[in-house]
Amino acid sequence: MAGFWESCLQRFEQELPAQQFNTWIRPLRLEGETTALENGLRLIAPNGFILKWVRDRYLSRIEDYSRAFFSGPVTIALVIGAGKVAPTRVEASVEPAENAPAKPTASGPVERKGSAQEKPGARKNNYEKSRLFPTFTFDNLVVGKANDLARAAAVQVAHNPGGAYNPLFIYGGAGLGKTHLIHAIGNTILAENPEKVVRYVHAEDYYSDVVRAYQQKSFDTFKRMYRSLDVLLLDDVQFFNGKNRSQEEFFFLFNALIEARKQIIITCDTYPKDINGLDDRLVTRFDWGLTVQIEPPELEMRVAILKKKAEAEGIQLDDEVAFFIAKHLRSNVRELEGALKKVLAYSSFHGRAIALDLAKEALKDVIGSVRNVGIDNIQKTVADYYKIKVADLFSKKRTRAIARPRQAAMWLCREVTSHSFPEIGDAFGGRDHTTVIHAVKTIDSLRIKENELNHDLHVLLQVLKG
């Protein structure tokens, strides 16, 4: 056993960055050989936080090494301290944190791993109180043009909480990774400063806390709890719309935390000034630190995300399949993930390999049957829909009534045909490819904010895809 652990340590030391190795792996100890389990070993973690982290991120690797080392299956138990409790990854219970918001993903609610390794009533450590999802980390966040600024800011804040960027305000459309990013910040802060009190709270839960404090006349406890935080991660602040008491409480909390140089990170679906029903005092404050946007990922990034998600499931996804999925699901990573899950489930249910024809079958409800649609067809459909002439789309007219449908038509050409930017430009009265790129970007960002435009595009897509 000792020989195995020695070799395991060496492998981790070679494979992991020094900081990760020193933080997570070096503190583990192998329990003395005499008490080693039959066909198994016990690893002792100094605390629940390290145990949880190792269990979620490294245990499967230790199991792989052990299988290779012993040429057979070995049971590994992770325990805290002197081996009081022995929850292996398989045995660990998964319980929702108290009041934790059930944040849906395409595949169902995000799993919240609870305090698996402590006896009821035991003192919870900072990690367990944080409500962080251990699986949302910087390591598994794919970076691209759409989020590189937001990620860079997030990394800065994670390494220097309460520093220059306070608050950090992250905004962008639904399912683009805002929640993932703020959990990554929280996880990193706690990993580097286990003594810090970090709390993830969805704006709806903050609202519930305010209501409860009001009903139970327990505002003192409520205030004390929130003001004791070192790092507050507030998700989806647009939910404060019209909730005046919550806004007022949050205004005072915000001032108190910022004054005490405690870090605040906020996410929202729009830019602060565009949030409906939000007190101006808050709007101005949200802009005090740094405001960064996450945009819908471009094609290559969507492909990279799909491959990474598949890899996490132990599957190597072909480029052809990844491009097919990414080409048809453009604006929301959550939907992209859902589509991938559908393909994987379809493949395992039918016992067939994951290939392009299988992906097309599995996703036909999501993306419609893929039929050939020409640029001229798109132009005619768009012109009919907006009640303008097809010739207007080729013309130089720049009035909004013409320019917006023209941009939408260009966007649809990218969406449902495989024509390149220059080809699309040519088909629109010989325009330059940069005009098409600009149109696609404009529509991508407008459709997040403008429900009417988003609705138009949905209808047009339905019509075109048949």
Ligand X SMILES: Nc1ncnc2c1ncn2[C@@H]1O[C@H](COP(=O)(O)OP(=O)(O)OP(=O)(O)O)[C@@H](O)[C@H]1O
Residue 105 or residue 435: which is nearer to ligand X going by CB? 105
Asked if residue 175 belongs to a known ligand binding site, the reply is yes
Tell me how many helices (H) and strands (E) the chain has.
22, 10
Q: Does 177 bind ligand X (CB under 6 A)?
A: yes
Minimal distance, residue 201 CB to ligand X, in Å: 13
Minimal distance, residue 103 CB to ligand X, in Å: 6
Residue 180 or residue 328: which is nearer to ligand X going by CB? 180
Nearest to 25 by CA among 60, 54, 57: 54
Separation of alpha carbons 401 and 399, rounded Å = 5
Buried b (16+ CB within 10 A) or exposed e, 101-127: beeebbeeebebbbbbbbeeeeeebbb
The strands making up 198-202's β-sheet, listed across from edge to edge, are: 198-202, 231-235, 263-268, 168-171, 290-293
Q: Does 55 bind ligand X (CB under 6 A)?
A: no
Q: Does 456 bind ligand X (CB under 6 A)?
A: no
Q: What residue has token string 């070799």?
A: 7
Site size with ligand X, rule: CB under 6 A: 18
User: Which H or E run includes 293?
Assistant: strand 290-293
Residues in 218-237 at the binding interface with ligand X, rule: CB under 6 A: 236
Q: Which residue is nearest to ligand X (CB)?
A: 177
Which residue in the set 105, 395, 442, 454 belongs to the binding site for ligand X (CB under 6 A)? 105
The strands making up 75-80's β-sheet, listed across from edge to edge, are: 29-30, 40-45, 75-80
Q: Does 331 bind ligand X (CB under 6 A)?
A: no
Report how far apart the first and last C-alpha atoms of the chain are (Å, whole number).
63
> Tokens standing for 463?
């019509």
Q: Does 334 bind ligand X (CB under 6 A)?
A: yes
Exposed/middle/buried for 19, CB within 10 Å: 0-12, 13-18, 19+? exposed
Residues in 244-283 at the binding interface with ligand X, rule: CB under 6 A: 269
Which residue in the set 52, 180, 285, 307 belongs to the binding site for ligand X (CB under 6 A)? 180
Residue 236 or residue 444: which is nearer to ligand X going by CB? 236
Minimal distance, residue 301 CB to ligand X, in Å: 7
What residue ranges in 69-124 does DSSP mark as E strands?
Answer: 75-80, 104-105, 108-109
Residues in 144-163 at the binding interface with ligand X, rule: CB under 6 A: 147
Residue 114 or residue 172: which is nearer to ligand X going by CB? 172
Q: Does 132 bind ligand X (CB under 6 A)?
A: no
Q: Does 419 bind ligand X (CB under 6 A)?
A: no
DSSP string, 390-439: HHHHHS----HHHHHHHHHHHHHHHHHS---HHHHHHHTTS--HHHHHHH
Q: Does 295 bind ligand X (CB under 6 A)?
A: no
Separation of alpha carbons 8 and 30, rounded Å = 11
Asked if residue 173 belongs to a known ligand binding site, the reply is no
Minimal distance, residue 315 CB to ligand X, in Å: 16
Minimal distance, residue 271 CB to ligand X, in Å: 14
Asked if residue 88 belongs to a known ligand binding site, the reply is no
Q: What residue has token string 């471009």?
A: 298
Which residue in the set 131, 178, 404, 414 belongs to the binding site for ligand X (CB under 6 A)? 178
Which residue in the set 25, 59, 116, 141 belongs to the binding site for ligand X (CB under 6 A)? 141
Q: Does 112 bind ligand X (CB under 6 A)?
A: no
Tell me the three state secondary structure of residue 231.
strand
Q: Does 202 bind ligand X (CB under 6 A)?
A: no
Residue 162 or residue 297: which is nearer to ligand X going by CB? 297
Contact of 248 with 280, CB cutoff 8 Å: no
Contact of 160 with 262, CB cutoff 8 Å: no
Contact residues: ligand X, CB under 6 A: 105, 141-142, 147, 172, 174-180, 236, 269, 305, 333-334, 337
Binding-site sequence positions for ATP? 175, 177-179
